[in-house]
Structure 1
Amino acid sequence: MGWIAGIIQATDSGSNYNLITALVLAVIAAVVGGLVAAWLKQPLIIGYLLGGVFIGPYTPGPALVVSDVEVLAEIGVALLMFALGTEFSLQELRHIGKTAVLGGIFQISLTILLGIPVGMLLGLNLSSSIFLGGLLAISSSIVILKILMGRGEMESLHGKVALGLGIVQDLSVIVLVVLLPALGEKGGDNLALSIGLALLKGTLFLVGAYIVGTRFMPWIVQKLVMLGMREMFLLGVITIALGTASLAYFLDISFALGAFVAGLMVSGSESAGDILTEIIPIRDVFASLFFVSIGMLIDPVFLVNNFPEIMLLVITVLIGKWALTSGILLLFKQPLKTAALAGLLLAQVGEFSFVLARIGVDSRAINSRVESLLLSAALVTIIANPLLLQFFPTLTLWLTQLRTRLFRLLGKAVPGYANAGVSLPVSLRPLVEEKEAGEMLYTRRGLRGQTERWPYKKHVVVCGYGRVGQQLVDACMRRNFDVVVIEYNPRRLELARKRGIIGLFGDASVEVTLKQANITEAKVLAITVPDAIVAEAASRAGRAMNPQLEIITRATEQKTIEMLKNSGADEVIQPEFEASLEFIRRTAKLYGVSGVELQALINGRRARFYGRKDM
């Protein structure tokens, strides 16, 4: 630590190396904090924030003045927003669907309204309370992505819904960057006028940038590409980003909005992908410095002294925001489990809230105390979010049981099970309708009664009609095997029904759904969903209901294989590993390895991976 002390001493002595010192210590803090976060399997943002706390003025040890890092942090904000603008795509916005777009708008609006009473409890005025609601409304897409990748749930329905809402939240930052600063001191007397002027300025700037971007920017970018010099291309891109951001700041428009508009200007060029490739590594470096600078503002003593206020914000996010988001998704007819899981993934405060908080302090819409409360609460929510997800299966079971009891008390059909919609093949319908009452009765409302029988025995029950499930169903149908599909995604279920497949809308981990699929008389239960929790619960329930059942399940990671075997699965398949075996097989054949030798090679690797002793 002697050399660090020497740097600090040089800084304190009034040398001209303050910026270099700040850069060196901030990078060290980011690296160390990031490594610790990775070791603890937490998002890197947490490591950057804690690294900032360590070198901040409120903790012992090496300390920096926040202003020394803020210049670098501003560049990080600009590059974050520039990359967001470059990635912006109306096609992507249309692709994520009505649920994400309208649901995201409702979620943000209602969370802002939720922030008003919370702000009042914290002693804030109406304008600052609205701003606080805007800060709480934005979640971290990076945290969501990290959690889903770690749990192997990128292809799950709740993962896609959460990421869709996250995209809408990221895009809403642009609107909030324009509107929220108008809540500052300048707009305190006439709020409507201030917001109107902010919208007018922002719109004029966007229109002007659009004209320049569509007519001149592609030509400029193309000329930079034609130079054939990577350094000049990169310098040109950074000039566009920071130059447009500086122009916006000069016109009394947010620096961050200017950077986003710069990204928007280049997003239409053919080289937009190349721009992102070049800018993302630099963005990540400066963005990490931004998070370090945010961490430097966190005072542990402040956290202790203001613990009740911070916990109020934490509870608002973890419970209030979760309940609002889940409720909105239920209104959009998402399944209960999907709505609850997606809501929980979004129950945290993200990196763009830090950007907005900084803008809020600069525009005097909020004070530094509110910013400190938000930063402390955000740190807690980001840490707590992955931990809460581990207890989610218990919560889901409790919610499902509670909902089932309520519907039965009311004498209504329980949504999410087979009686919510069953599609029988057209060829079976006349036969089914001729069955006597008591064996089976098919109506437009589906199958009635849990004791009624399916037309199939020794059939295959496929849980999940995604890419893997569709291939399996196709193969079964070609061999005339009877198939029943259980699917939680309404769109995928509709695809199965259009092909004349019996489809149940429900959760495969719930026993009632498996009973409706007549699992007691099935031959095979194939669990193709990427959700390890669902696979484990479905395997356990299937084995308990039918000891002779052959259970084949999918593992997203090697570490879940043993868990799935213990739950009752006969065969566990890890798709990526199986794909790697095919690469090995084809490569080995090119080098003359074939026959028994090749099969022994494949079997040996498979036995080591799955832990089998019979190979």
Structure 2
Amino acid sequence: MHQEVGLIATVAVSFVFAAILGYGADRLRLPPLVGYLMAGILMGPFTPGFVADTALAGQLAEMGVILLMFGVGLHFSASDLLAVRGIAVPGAIGRIILATLLGIGLCKLWGWSLGAGIVLGLSLSVASTVVLLKALEERNLVNAASGRVAVGWLIVEDLVMVLALVLLPALAELLGGNASDTTNHGLGDLPLALTIGLTLLKVVAFAAMAIFLGPRIVPWLLTMIARTGSRELFTLTVLAIALGIAFGSAAIFGVSFALGAFFAGVVMSESQLSHRAAADSLPLQNAFSVLFFVSVGMLFDPSILVRQPLAVIGALALVILGKGIITFLIVILLRYPISMGLTLAGGLAQIGEFSFILAGLGVSLGLLPHEGQDLILAAAILSITLNPIVIFATDGLKKYIHSKWPSLWESYGRSRQKALGKELEKIRALGEERERQHQLKMQQLIETFPLFSEVDEDAQEELLLLFKAKSAPPGERVIRRGDRGDSMYFISSGAVEVRLASGAIRLEPGAFFGEMALLTGGRRTADVIAVDFCQFEVLERRDFNMFMSHHPHLRAAVSEMAQQRTEMNVLRQQREKSMDLS
């Protein structure tokens, strides 16, 4: 009973404090994340007042990590990354290496080990996705070239950090830390090279299974669940896949929960239901993400600001000045515009989610002292708080450079930016075409059955999921007159002829036929022949009836429509008979 009360108290107080302080941070035009961290500090053992159960908070934080990484994988876009690969890949990797070297240098000054320097440097090298996206949204830059590059840069950083989470436990002993039983279980006292090799082999085996089997199983499973029409079952399935793959990857392959959750998101992103999965899981992701940041704040000892002010200033300077200058110089050396370099330098001059995960891992492996974790947390809180000021300063610097050297501002890096713009435009056009096709299909559906305009968009999407692809070569009889009707056809490409007694009617992409099969299940009244290579979207009557069972208020309207269509067909058949007699 005590544990139950502890859990309830920890969660309740965490949410209350986080809501109040998050709102306060937002009113101060700071990211709510700052408020969540402050809530954790107030609830932690280093400040007076209520002290939460840190053990329970740690487990809740682990859930937060899983769902955070699942969200990262779910929004991973290979096409976007490929479009900006020329700057994002070398830029992110180069900055991580240089920032890590600076971190190692700081630790050498403090007398810390190489392992501590690597963990500190890696933690300070990676930016917060949450903070950056908020900054881009406030300035309407998410879809601009600079915004797309920044997001691609973050994706590369996240991928490198995922690799770091895998390799650090394997390298822990070499770097002066402790071996990880959870990550390298079963490897025993093998030589280091073999340990690393087996660790990477496990990761590759897991990744291969996730990449090759996942896209075949997960989208199919999501589609099957979505066809049931149960939203809570769909949400439950999404979470079961995320947590199940994360746990299974750790139990079977010995990789981290974070890596398993990331691949779960990547696999699910291949499904046409990925947007719905993201939307349905977002509330839980947000809730546990808040608990994650609160639990991180609980670990922070504010006294380090007094005990080690120079160390805090050094870590903060590395994050803001060091990373900012490195980012700007890399962009300029890659011959991209000055404005893009300053935008990236300002937006990426902070640290966040992965920094906390790496710091926690470093402490658990004995690589990073608790003081180092406090420094990372201090640098995170201060850099996130100061980020709006840093961005404002870079905007001012843009104006100064533009006014001082206008020709350089206009000409430098423009050729690279034009090439990048073309790549991004292609991706945007493909996305718009997919959306147009989707909207066209929805429009065709509503034109066929106007009554479906009365249901909400989720129900319309649910109905679209029931369609199945089918093809037919020229000359194939798609529908035979007199057969029992069991499906309706939408023409995606190609053309068909509907052969009636009165003549043939040609139908092309965008048209449909066989709708009476859904309404009445009666026999076909015409032959339909493919006159070209055809692609159809087919809706079967049993699936249609299942959808109607979830929306009983539509039954009366469907029955009325069926009666009207039946009367129209009877009149048409009577006209055809009269024409034959004449």
TM-score range, shorter chain: 0.5 to 0.7
Cα gap change, 1:217 to 1:492, in 2 (>3 Å): closer
Q: Is the 8 A contact 1:185 1:364 kept in 2?
A: no
Q: Which amino acid aligns with 2:385?
A: I
Q: Which amino acid aligns with 1:370?
A: G
Deviations 1:250-292 (A, max 9, x none): 2432111111122223222222222111111110110011000
Unmatched segments (≥5 aa) in structure 2:
178-190, 423-582
Is residue 220 of structure 1 aligned with residue 221 of structure 2? yes
Aligned to 1:236: 237
Aligned to 1:297: 299
> 2-side partners of 1:91 and 1:376: how far apart?
36
Cα gap change, 1:161 to 1:213, in 2 (>3 Å): closer
Is residue 168 of structure 1 aligned with residue 169 of structure 2? no
Aligned to 1:111: 99
Cα gap change, 1:77 to 1:231, in 2 (>3 Å): same
Q: Is the 8 A contact 1:157 1:489 kept in 2?
A: no
Structure 1 window deviating more from structure 2 (82-91 vs 390-399): it is 390-399
Q: Which amino acid aligns with 2:131?
A: V
- Residues 181-200 of structure 1 correspond to what in structure 2 (within 5 A)? 181-185=169-173, 188=176, 192-200=193-201
Q: Which amino acid aligns with 1:341?
A: T
Cα gap change, 1:23 to 1:91, in 2 (>3 Å): same
> 1-side partners of 2:417 and 2:291: how far apart?
43
Aligned to 1:415: 408
1:38 Cα deviation (Å)? 0.9
- Residues 315-394 of structure 1 correspond to what in structure 2 (within 5 A)? 315-394=317-396
- Residues 373-452 of structure 1 correspond to what in structure 2 (within 5 A)? 373-396=375-398, 415-417=408-410
Aligned to 1:307: 309
Please state whether the residue corresponding to 1:334 is helix, strand or coil.
coil
- Taking structure 2 as the reference length, what is the TM-score of the superposition? 0.65
Aligned to 1:178: 166
2:119 to 131, 141, 145: 131
> 1-side partners of 2:305 and 2:403: how far apart?
39
Aligned to 1:140: 128
Q: Which amino acid aligns with 2:99?
A: T
Please state whether the residue corresponding to 1:61 is helix, strand or coil.
coil
Deviations 1:296-339 (A, max 9, x none): 11111122212111111111111111111111000111223331
1:42 Cα deviation (Å)? 0.5
Query: How many residues of Structure 1 are paired with residues of Structure 2 in the alignment?
Result: 408
> 1-side partners of 2:84 and 2:228: how far apart?
38
> 1-side partners of 2:248 and 2:90: how far apart?
33
Deviations 1:11-68 (A, max 9, x none): 9xx4641111111011111111111111111111111001111111111222213112
Q: Which amino acid aligns with 1:491?
A: K
Q: Which amino acid aligns with 1:68?
A: L
1:152 Cα deviation (Å)? 4.1
1:158 Cα deviation (Å)? 3.9
> 2-side partners of 1:332 and 1:384: how far apart?
28
1:174 Cα deviation (Å)? 2.0
- Residues 218-297 of structure 1 correspond to what in structure 2 (within 5 A)? 218-250=219-251, 251-297=253-299
Q: Is the 8 A contact 2:145 2:420 kept in 1?
A: no
Cα gap change, 1:16 to 1:415, in 2 (>3 Å): closer
Larger relative contact order (Cα-Cα within 8 Å, sequence gap ≥ 6) = 2
Deviations 1:521-553 (A, max 9, x none): xxxxxxxxxxxxxxxxxxxxxxxxxxxxxxxxx
Cα gap change, 1:488 to 1:210, in 2 (>3 Å): closer
1:245 Cα deviation (Å)? 1.4
Please state whether the residue corresponding to 1:185 is helix, strand or coil.
coil
Please state whether the residue corresponding to 1:415 is helix, strand or coil.
helix
> 2-side partners of 1:194 and 1:326: how far apart?
38
The structure whose Rg is larger is: 2
> 2-side partners of 1:216 and 1:491: how far apart?
40
Structure 1 window deviating more from structure 2 (302-311 vs 180-189): it is 180-189
> 2-side partners of 1:349 and 1:155: how far apart?
22
- Residues 19-30 of structure 1 correspond to what in structure 2 (within 5 A)? 19-30=7-18
Deviations 1:571-596 (A, max 9, x none): xxxxxxxxxxxxxxxxxxxxxxxxxx
**Cα RMSD (Å) of the superposition?**
2.8
Unmatched segments (≥5 aa) in structure 1:
1-10, 405-412, 422-486, 496-615
Aligned to 1:61: 49
Please state whether the residue corresponding to 1:298 is helix, strand or coil.
coil
Please state whether the residue corresponding to 1:176 is helix, strand or coil.
helix
- Taking structure 1 as the reference length, what is the TM-score of the superposition? 0.61
Q: Which amino acid aligns with 1:390?
A: F
